[in-house]
Structure formats: structure tokens, C-alpha cells
Structure 1
Amino acid sequence: MKKTSTRLADGRELVYYDLRDDVVRDAVDPRPLDPISTTSEVRRDPLLGDSVAIASHRQGRTYHPPADACPLCPSRDGRHSEIPDGDYDVVVFENRFPSLADDSGRCEVVCFTSDHDASFADLTEERAALVLEAWTDRTAELAELPHVQQVFCFENRGAEIGVTLGHPHGQIYAYPFTTPRTALMLRSLDDHRAATGRNLFDDVVARERAEAERVVLETGEWVAFVPYAAHWPYEVHLYPTRRVPDLRALDDAARTEFPQVYLELLRRFDRIFGQGEPPTPYISAWHQAPFGDPRRDAFALHLELFTIRRTSGKLKFLAGSESGMSVFINDVPPEAAARRLREVASA
């Protein structure tokens, strides 16, 4: 992998990640951009104890542009985008409309490919491995920022999810706090340790592997399963078989196997609902241990992949119980979801 860092016209950082070592990245962003002005502010909810980012400047962000005006495509034929070069493998850059900025954190965009009409599932294993290297490198870089406590790499796919740019891409949020979901996991981790003397993540994975009914696929380095109490209609959790706190700690064997495993999961998601269906909308989210927490080594890196589509032509909406009280109601039994995801395995 070759890494080349540069700056856009308004001062934001952009990083190219290339498969070939001989690639030269010297294109300059010629756009007359004004310096970025953000209004991002993190406020704490006194009742729930969680944090909310207030970012009014995001009202003006790019919204469903036509393909020939996509800001994530390479700059070509006289049209200048967020990526100055005429082609790229993987690119990461600071978001022009960040939810978090300055002391409130940092938001980055990850472009998986220069092909506007592709998806992550279309990538080669070599290119998927490069994305993993980019996620890992960004986690390492952002961990060095003094105000960052947790790094979250994720992908939203599909208009149903709320995606406003069709180009295949993901995002990275560097939070100045431990997120509420992670805090709940850490609390459960503490409770389980106090009650049993064992690690909660290890016991969860061991249970799923032993019962096997909800396991979707397993290799020497990774295991993917539908969790016992899945919140979403089709939800898969992917764990390395050796517990590590974050992406930086994955060993070479796990990195080598990841592209094959992850691409297979994404391709199965696209086959869940049968031929003729539009691409399955999904969220893919890496859960990494917060920095500086004494329980870091007890936390388990894992990826959660889920869709809001519950059956052909129907979505799972977060209505009264889910949105009002955070109590999920799942219409698809986890065992049935796992069975369907095994049925659509690649031949």
C-alpha cells in the first residue's frame, strides 16, 4: 500500500491509498473554495446522559446530485470534484459538511472506488483489503488527536437508509466521547465479569459457535452470526476468532481472510430477497474500543451489518416502541434470518 497525503483548496486533508507503489499523486485542487465554517456543537442530554451533535451547517450539504455532478467521482473532463486526481483506488478526506469538527471531533469520507456505479460488494478481494488498511490507518491517525476518544468506521448504503450521495463510500467519525452504545456494552461487560468472572464477548461468541443455529459462516479467523436477540430483520455480527480491541490489533491472518468473508456477507445480503429486487439497503458498522478506557483489552472488535428491509418491498420502520422507548420489535426470528443467509451462499 502507498499512502499520499495532500490538501484540498479549502485546507481539508485528503489521503490517497494506492495498491501500486509507483503511483504519483500530484494533482492540485483548483476550485475557488472558501475556508470551511462549521457550527458543530456537542450538547449533553441531562436526562439520558448521552451526547447530541448540533450541526446546522449540514442543512446545506450536497443532496442527491446527478451522476455527472457527483463530488466523489474523480476530477475528469474539466469537471472538478472533491478528488483532484483523474482516478483513484481508495481515498479518504475530511468531510466538507462535518457533524463533528474541531474540539467536537472529526468526520471523514472514505471512497471505496472511483467507479460511481459499483458497490462495496463489487470490489475485488485486493481492493477490499486496501479499504481495511485505510480504516486501520485512519483509526491509528485519529487516535493520536488529543480530544478523540473513539473512532467509528461505517457505511450507509441505499436511499432507504438516508444516503444522499450514490457513489460507493463510507464515513469515519472520531468522537470526543465514548458513544452511548459502547457505554452500554462496557456496562454489560462489567456486570458479566462481576457475575461470572468471564469475558462477556468471549461467552457470546462461544455460545453462538456452540449452538450453531444462528451461525452464517465461519472460517479459521472469523465467525459471522445472527445474534440471539437481533434488533433488525437481517442482522449479522462478524467477530475475529481472536479477541482484539480495535482494527490496529488484527493480525496478518485475520487481515488476509477478511476480504473474502466480508465480501461474501455483502453479496449474500444482496441475494436475501431474491432476483429482481433492488440492492439491499444496509448499515455496516465497526465497533472499536474507546481509547484510554481501562477495559480496552476486554472489549472485542466486531462489525455489525444489518438491513432495514424486512421482506420484499417492505421496510422496518422505527416507530413508537423503538423510537420512543428504545424497545425493538423484530418481525424476523434470528434463526430464520440465519437460515436464509446460509441458503443464499455463493456457489
Structure 2
Amino acid sequence: METFDITEHSHRRFNPLLGEWVLVSPHRSKRPWQGQQESAEKETRPQYDPNCYLCPTNVRANGEKNPDYPSTYVFVNDFAALQAESPAGSLQETGSLLRAQSERGICKVICFSPRHDLTLSDMEVSEIRKVVDLWQEQYLELGALEYISYVQIFENKGSVMGSSNPHPHGQIWAQSSVPGEPAKETEQQQAYFQQNGRSLLSDYLAEELEKQTRLVVENEHFVALVPFWAIWPFETIVIPRRHFQHLGQITDQEKDAYADIMKKLSSVYDKLFNTSFPYSAGIHQSPTDGQEYPGWHLHMHFYPPLLRSATVKKFMVGYELMADPQRDITPESAAERLRGLL
């Protein structure tokens, strides 16, 4: 097979974390845009909003009152998708096609800051470090429960990503089974480790550090880059240089560096289209089902939807829904744009 310039021609790229393919069509980025495009409005919010369910001392929708918290604050979600009291059980109708099983779990909300007007990019690194501390605490606490097999920590930032409240916050869903995406990553990483004796992401990161073309920002302990297999226009992945499985194993120095890389990456995002950049971000780490996962390498995904401006969004439609994910701009050009904003 002949080699070709992957930045110029349509091709498929393999995602080794999921064992799946993505179509890259760089020539589509040159097509004329005649769709809707509005002027982005600058959002201004007060430091404290008396009508916000997440601000300190306010009463939430279920009637409970928030404490006057000074930094971070975590509580059980008032409208949790998972319930700890769900009874065990399963359903299988005639044949094997229609099956269901109960799912137990706990959903929590984490307020990053008492201030209503901040996002991670606005917060000081020392304040973000407290968020990382709380992530670690909650992973260990929830993961220690006998019926919890996975702890998913994530943030939906911005109304376009479904966030119902602009107050800076994230969520944790801890559940009795391992969800689909982490399950695929578990399988791929374990298989690679068994075959090579090294973590998949350690070897992948070494290649990216050698090539330099998809790097965005780095520090002593973490690297943020646009992955080779990225689907979303300005998708990034944050990978620790040291191979460790979960937040329970992170050191104090690495927590400082994690907070630093979060601050830098979120600030770069905000500069890209001069807007508070929306995204869905989440930490992937080893399951908590009592088994050993030496191949697991903790990492964090950022999936931002903005494509051409603060108002032109990327939607998964047509080919993406019916066939494979497809991206219009190459990961290399996306990384170059992000790096230029440092």
C-alpha cells in the first residue's frame, strides 16, 4: 500500500483505546459555510446568585439548604439517575433479545467554587487543586463500597452540553457495573499490557512526545494533546507521564501538576473563539470491582463541540450516526491552533 499525506487526504484512523475507527476528511474544512451563525454574547454572572441552587446558603429544589461552604462542596444529586436502594433483579422476555437488569449507584454533584461567576479557567491553580483533592477523596470513598464497580467523574460545561446550571460544578456517577466506554478501554489496555508488559498510553505518549505535532500543553507530570484518533474538532486527552491506574495512586506533586494542566488547557480553550468554551470532560480510570488492572493508565478526555466559532457547533449527524464518526479538520491542525494560543 502506498503512503500518503494524512493531513491532505481522507483516511481512517484507529483508536487503540476503544478498538474503533474514525474517518478523517480534511478537505471538508474548506467547503463554504452558509449555515446559521450568530454573534456570541459575552456572559456575565454575579459572584453570588440568590436563585442558584448551588450557591452557598441557598435552598435547593428538594428543600435542603446548602452550607456556607468556603471552597469545594459535594452532595448527593437531588435528581439522581442512579439510586443506592434499587433492588437487585433482571428481566428476560421470550428468547434472548430483550433483556434488562437493575443498576444500583450513587450520583453526586461537586461544586468547584462558592463563586457563581467562575469556571476552572478563572480559578487559581490552588483552588483547582482542592477540586482534584475532592475527586480523589470521592473516588476512594465510593469505590470502597462493595456494590460499586466503577466511579465516573465528569463535567458538562455550558448549556450546549446540557448543563442546567452555570455555577461551576461537575458530577460523579458511581455504579454497580462498568459502563460501555470504560469497559472497552479496560479490554484494550489489558490486552496491550499482557502482550507488551507496558501500558498502552505510556507507549502512545512516548510517540506523541517524539513527534510533537499534536501536543497542546505539558508540564512535569502531565501532557495535554489532541489524540491521533480525535473525533470532536478540538478534542484533547490529558495523560500523566507516570503510569498509574487511578486517583488513589496520584502523588501530591502530581495533584499540583494536574491542577496546573487543567488551568492551562481550559484557558487555551477560552481563547480559541473568545468565549467560555463548552465541553464535556471526564476522568477514565480503573474499575473498583476488586480486580487487578495493571494495564489501566488514568487519563482525562475533553470533548468540546465548537467547530468554526463560538456559535457554530459540531453535531454528530448523517454519516456519523449511521456509519462511523467523522471529523472535518485534522488533529494536527487543531493542535497547532490550540498551541498558538498559549
TM-score normalised by length of structure 2: 0.75
Residue 69 of structure 1 corresponds to which residue in structure 2?
51
Residue 79 of structure 2 corresponds to which residue in structure 1?
97
1:137 aligns with 2:134: no
Q: Kindly state the Cα deviation for residue 76 of structure 1 after the two structures are TM-superposed.
A: 5.7
Residue 334 of structure 1 corresponds to which residue in structure 2?
331
Kept in 2, the 8 Å contact 1:70–1:81? The answer is: no
Q: Kindly state the Cα deviation for residue 226 of structure 1 after the two structures are TM-superposed.
A: 0.7
Partner of 1:210, secondary structure, is: helix
Counterpart selection for 1:322 from 320, 323, 329 = 320
Residue 84 of structure 1 corresponds to which residue in structure 2?
66
Q: CA separation in 2, counterparts of 1:201 and 1:294?
A: 20
Partner of 1:338, secondary structure, is: helix
Counterpart selection for 1:290 from 287, 290, 293 = 287
Kept in 1, the 8 Å contact 2:217–2:264? The answer is: no
Q: Kindly state the Cα deviation for residue 178 of structure 1 after the two structures are TM-superposed.
A: 1.0
Mapping for residues 1-347 of structure 1, pairs under 5 Å: 67-75=49-57, 82-102=64-84, 103=86, 104-193=104-193, 196=196, 198-273=198-273, 275=274, 278-292=275-289, 294-312=291-309, 313-325=311-323, 327-345=324-342
Shift in alpha-carbon separation, 1:330–1:82, aligned structure 2, 3 A: farther
Which amino acid in structure 2 is aligned with residue 339 of structure 1?
E
Kept in 1, the 8 Å contact 2:238–2:300? The answer is: yes
Q: Kindly state the Cα deviation for residue 117 of structure 1 after the two structures are TM-superposed.
A: 1.6
Q: Which digits, 9 at most, give the CA deviation of each residue in 1:182-212, with x for residues without a partner?
A: 1111222244346545432221111111111
Kept in 1, the 8 Å contact 2:144–2:288? The answer is: no
Q: CA separation in 2, counterparts of 1:80 and 1:105?
A: 20
Shift in alpha-carbon separation, 1:206–1:142, aligned structure 2, 3 A: same
Shift in alpha-carbon separation, 1:237–1:82, aligned structure 2, 3 A: farther
Partner of 1:310, secondary structure, is: coil
Give the unaligned 5+ runs of structure 2: 1-47, 87-103
Residue 3 of structure 2 corresponds to which residue in structure 1?
none
Q: CA separation in 1, counterparts of 2:198 and 2:241?
A: 17
Greater relative contact order structure (CA < 8 Å, 6+ sep):
2
Kept in 1, the 8 Å contact 2:150–2:178? The answer is: yes
Q: Kindly state the Cα deviation for residue 85 of structure 1 after the two structures are TM-superposed.
A: 2.4
Which amino acid in structure 2 is aligned with residue 222 of structure 1?
F
Kept in 2, the 8 Å contact 1:112–1:169? The answer is: yes
Kept in 1, the 8 Å contact 2:80–2:106? The answer is: yes
Moved more, 190-199 or 119-128: 190-199
RMSD of aligned Cα (Å): 2.2
Q: Kindly state the Cα deviation for residue 164 of structure 1 after the two structures are TM-superposed.
A: 0.9
TM-score normalised by length of structure 1: 0.74
